[in-house]
Structure 1
């Protein structure tokens, strides 16, 4: 079996004095207080689940744009963690913040425009004030992790028209509504984004749950995504520990849900895609 890489995990420190809580939007996520996992805990979970590496995505609903704990995870275990930091793309010093956190060995930034503590779609996505961050990322090949809803697709389309060489991965497949079933007219915007070769999708538990609702089936949704995007632009992420349960069980559940895919497609979704997206081979060389 090829290398398994989890594209979406979070780490929460026990020490709140060294790593103070300052969530985006001012409200801390419930999961981060009920079942947090620190660096050592995530490492143990990866080992138990047989996951070689994971992307530690900034817990935006805990630390906001202070990425110190993600940076600490990468510093301590650069062979196991890929770090994604959060920035305020509307801030006048956004480019300086990108340079700062890239300097800690982190591998790309996250733009947080929606979430369980911030329902809806933030209206700043696509604002020209955010373009310096996009421009810098495009120029330097820095990947962007984007937490958004389908309502943000028009704004993302405008931004990608300005920066067509951007590489963007959409958390949770942009939280689509899939209950109408194939051909997924209610999520047409998600499929339209495939025309941009730099757009990738994360198949997390949220996306897979949505794919099992109403008339939809996970198998049909996966077939539509592979046909439209190709498996080389799809990556699996557990969302552990925001997703409740043990990582080993989340991995097993995902492999069961994705079992309709070919061996080649599974190898892409469970490792090759995320490795290519974050240029891991180049970093390890």
Structure 2
């Protein structure tokens, strides 16, 4: 007698929906509660609106579960506030430290301590800081990111599987050869290029150089801070959300790198002076890039969750 086919019970649990995650944002305390680094104070309009509490409220309103917090420049290498935020909101944040290339081997040791902070024995995925930002503007005048300190820091990140985010604020062309040299020296170090490589649209001469980085399998690109990378000759209309030029930028990134290596980010709190956080969270389906639901799930969470396993729950 043939066995009777079984069907799953009606009360079987449904698969959990994918988390929605922000790959790039900042927080900082109010000026009355914390001392900013002299000369690196945040814009006055954001001095009191970039706290963790303000961020969590904005994320909840926009349906964003978690984020990667990048150490803000106004706190420079004092990582105490961001570390406290990660502790206060367990399961919502992973932190990205800011490398200090000015202290020689002491800076390398500082970075090592940050990357080991919060580890459970034998489990790096429990640490507070799991990524590192290289800001080439912080290297001493005349020095390159490929100096002894930069190479040591980059290799340390490879040992920890901590992605290095490159902030090429003044142009990718100034730093792309250094980035390539570092990756050749340490192919196991993951890399994230911040904010579309700061390329001003697809006609920017740097855009081709950014797409050519796709040949390095360790490289991902943050499709973040769309308002920062508008073409220099953008019309007033194109400077308004949803930034029509973003569609071509995003689609070309996906085609060159593959959707698995592109990550959406907001650049909170700066985005609050532009389109606002809630609008930023809907740009993928509004910018004209033809993003499919499957692509969106990877761009807005799946890729970041895979990069930092165990980081969000």
* Short-chain TM bin: 0.7 to 0.9
The corresponding residue for 1:222 is: 250
**Is 1:66 aligned to 2:55, yes or no?**
no
Structure 1: runs of 5 or more not aligned: none
- SS where residue 109 of structure 1 aligns? strand
Q: Is the 8 A contact 1:147 1:174 kept in 2?
A: yes
CA distance in 1, matches of 2:196, 2:215: 15
Deviation sequence 1:116-141 (CA, Å, 0-9, x none)? xx9xx985322233111111111221
The corresponding residue for 2:163 is: 143
Q: RMSD between aligned alpha carbons?
A: 2.8
- SS where residue 131 of structure 1 aligns? helix
Larger Rg: 2
Q: Per the alignment, do residues 83 and 250 of structure 1 end up closer, same or farther by CA in structure 2, a change over 3 Å counting?
A: same
**Is 1:264 aligned to 2:279, yes or no?**
no
- SS where residue 79 of structure 1 aligns? coil
**Is 1:188 aligned to 2:208, yes or no?**
yes
Aligned-pair CA distance for 1:28? 2.7
Aligned-pair CA distance for 1:36? 3.1
**Is 1:252 aligned to 2:282, yes or no?**
yes
More moved, 90-99 vs 49-58: 90-99
The corresponding residue for 2:24 is: 8
Aligned-pair CA distance for 1:254? 4.2
- SS where residue 35 of structure 2 aligns? coil
The corresponding residue for 2:43 is: 30
Q: Is the 8 A contact 2:202 2:248 kept in 1?
A: no
- SS where residue 6 of structure 1 aligns? strand
- SS where residue 176 of structure 2 aligns? helix
Deviation sequence 1:5-53 (CA, Å, 0-9, x none)? 0111111112555x32116xx4334267456321111111111110010
Q: Please show how residues 40-55 of structure 1 align to structure 2 within 5 Å.
A: 40-55=53-68
User: Structure 2 length normalisation: TM-score?
Assistant: 0.77
- Higher helix share goes to which structure? 1
Deviation sequence 1:185-233 (CA, Å, 0-9, x none)? 5421101111111111111133775279659843332222112100100
The corresponding residue for 1:176 is: 199
Counterpart among 96, 121, 133 of residue 110 in structure 1: 133
CA distance in 1, matches of 2:288, 2:71: 26
Q: Per the alignment, do residues 253 and 58 of structure 1 end up closer, same or farther by CA in structure 2, a change over 3 Å counting?
A: same
**Is 1:240 aligned to 2:268, yes or no?**
yes
Aligned-pair CA distance for 1:87? 1.9
- SS where residue 56 of structure 1 aligns? strand
The corresponding residue for 2:230 is: 210
Alignment: residue pair count: 271
More moved, 90-99 vs 63-72: 90-99
Aligned-pair CA distance for 1:170? 1.1
Aligned-pair CA distance for 1:278? 2.0
**Is 1:81 aligned to 2:67, yes or no?**
no
More moved, 32-41 vs 68-77: 32-41
CA distance in 1, matches of 2:222, 2:253: 11
Aligned-pair CA distance for 1:73? 0.7
- SS where residue 151 of structure 2 aligns? helix
The corresponding residue for 2:176 is: 153
Q: Is the 8 A contact 2:26 2:72 kept in 1?
A: yes
CA distance in 2, matches of 1:143, 1:193: 15
User: Structure 1 length normalisation: TM-score?
Assistant: 0.84
- SS where residue 257 of structure 1 aligns? coil
